Structure 1
Amino acid sequence: MSNAPEVFTTVAVGVMVGVEFSVAFFVNPILDGLPGDSGLRGRAHGARLLGAVMPFWYIGSL
């Protein structure tokens, strides 16, 4: 039972790293391929969404 917090923290941090890699390797190329300023608008929306979620995401990993 004493290992449960360590396992949970490791999984939470692993998921955060996976999300960062997903954005870097999959989402950015997809947004780059959109016509016109759609890629910029998509990045702006994603930044607003992730900016609202990240504080809770990082605090949850502690």
Structure 2
Amino acid sequence: MNFGQPGTMVREVLDDAARDRLVDNVAGHLLGGVSRPVLDRALQYWRNIDKKLGDRIAKKVNGG
């Protein structure tokens, strides 16, 4: 799977406020009853798109 285009969007198109909203929205949806195997896969996809963003989402999902 190619994560180049979404990575570019996250890093070069979105501003800090938009990235903050994205983290909140994604984490909120993942906290809505997603099973652990699916959650782990989703977090890995987001880390593949952008490691820093994926780590922020994981931290929020895991209670950090």
TM-score (norm 1): 0.45
User: TM-score, structure 2 length as denominator?
Assistant: 0.44
